[in-house]
């Protein structure tokens, strides 16, 4: 994984660059990485804090032979890989907030933005973009309450290339398991074990409204199963959904 690397001192966004490369035919497992982004993008049209010299910005091009409906699991696979990488390199054990935030003390350490080009029958490519707040000492005021970095959490600096290598190694391991095996139960149980929402009361905010229930865990499609007070189990699909604690 990541044996073909496209590195930039500065780029608009590693996701945009990876999509352009994928459109031009770049192979599966190509890694795009940058020291800084001029237009780092988050989910829901937000921007992503991307100054030079501090954090990790990378995007993987994948061409898995799976149905598009299964692709949202790739984001969860990436979340697991980042969590493991952080644990082994920084000695911190963050949790995953479904679907794809890595969180420490309630603040975000990493965000993942997955974008795909697909038809009904198959996937052309998926770009999994990963932003990890590594050595940044101070965030802009607007995000200070929500964001943190490994440095702010541990007081220690991390060599970014080591963390990238650890994340890629873990990603390769989970990705192989995801695409080769019909049975995803091990992956699902590892994810659920590391998911902060599991077993907790949550509020689900959808464009159409809000409801409360108890998060049970994810299923094989990466959907969050939420048990309603009357026992009905709803399948929550990531996207325009926000999960909050109560």
Any idea which residue has 């598009």 for tokens? Answer: 68
Q: Residue 93 has which token pair? A: 């054990």
In this chain, which of 14, 133, 194, 197 binds ligand BTN, going by CB under 6 A? 14
| Least Cβ distance, residue 160 to ligand BTN (angstroms) | 13
| Least Cβ distance, residue 132 to ligand BTN (angstroms) | 8
Q: Is 154 helix (H, G, I), strand (E, B) or coil?
A: helix
Residue 88 Cα distances to 55, 73, 157, 169, angstroms: 17, 23, 14, 11
User: Which CB atom, from 134 or from 198, has the smaller least distance to ligand BTN?
Assistant: 134
User: Which CB atom, from 36 or from 216, has the smaller least distance to ligand BTN?
Assistant: 36
Q: How many residues bind to ligand BTN according to rule CB under 6 A? A: 20
In this chain, which of 46, 193, 200, 244 binds ligand BTN, going by CB under 6 A? 46
What does the alpha-carbon distance between residue 164 and residue 157 come to, in Å, rounded to a whole number? 14
User: Which CB atom, from 15 or from 238, has the smaller least distance to ligand BTN?
Assistant: 15
Residue nearest to ligand BTN (CB): 111
Sheet holding 101-104, edge to edge: 5-11, 31-37, 56-62, 123-132, 107-118, 101-104, 95-97
- Decide: is 175 part of the binding site for ligand BTN (CB under 6 A): no
Query: How big is the chain, counted in residues?
Result: 246
- Decide: is 42 part of the binding site for ligand BTN (CB under 6 A): yes
- Decide: is 158 part of the binding site for ligand BTN (CB under 6 A): no
Q: In this structure, are residues 171 and 81 in contact, taking their beta carbons and an 8 Å threshold?
A: yes
- Residues at the interface with ligand BTN (CB under 6 A): 13-15, 37, 40-43, 46, 48, 57-59, 101, 111-113, 129-131
């Amino acid at each position: 994984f990541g044996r073909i690397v496209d590195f930039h001192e500065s780029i608009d966004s590693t996701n945009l660059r990876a999509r352009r490369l994928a459109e031009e035919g770049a192979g599966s497992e190509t890694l795009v990485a940058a020291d800084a982004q001029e237009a780092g993008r988050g989910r829901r049209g937000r921007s992503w804090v991307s100054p030079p010299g501090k954090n990790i910005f990378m995007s993987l091009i994948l061409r898995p032979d799976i149905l598009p409906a299964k692709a949202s699991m790739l984001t969860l696979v990436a979340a697991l890989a980042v969590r493991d990488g952080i644990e082994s390199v920084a000695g911190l054990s963050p949790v995953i907030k479904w679907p794809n935030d890595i969180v420490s003390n309630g603040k975000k350490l990493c965000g993942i933005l997955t974008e795909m080009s697909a038809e009904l029958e198959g996937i052309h490519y998926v770009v999994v973009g990963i932003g990890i707040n590594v050595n940044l000492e101070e965030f802009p005021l607007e995000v200070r309450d929500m964001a943190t970095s490994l440095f702010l959490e541990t007081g220690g600096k991390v060599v970014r290339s080591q963390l990238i290598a650890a994340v890629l190694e873990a990603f390769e391991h989970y990705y192989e398991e995801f695409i080769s095996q019909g049975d995803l139960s091990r992956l699902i149980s590892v994810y659920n074990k590391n998911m902060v929402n599991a077993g907790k009361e949550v509020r689900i905010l959808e464009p159409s409204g809000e409801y409360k229930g108890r998060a049970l865990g994810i299923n094989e499609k990466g959907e969050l199963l939420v048990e309603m007070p009357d026992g009905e189990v709803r399948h929550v699909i990531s996207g325009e959904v926000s999960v909050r604690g109560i």
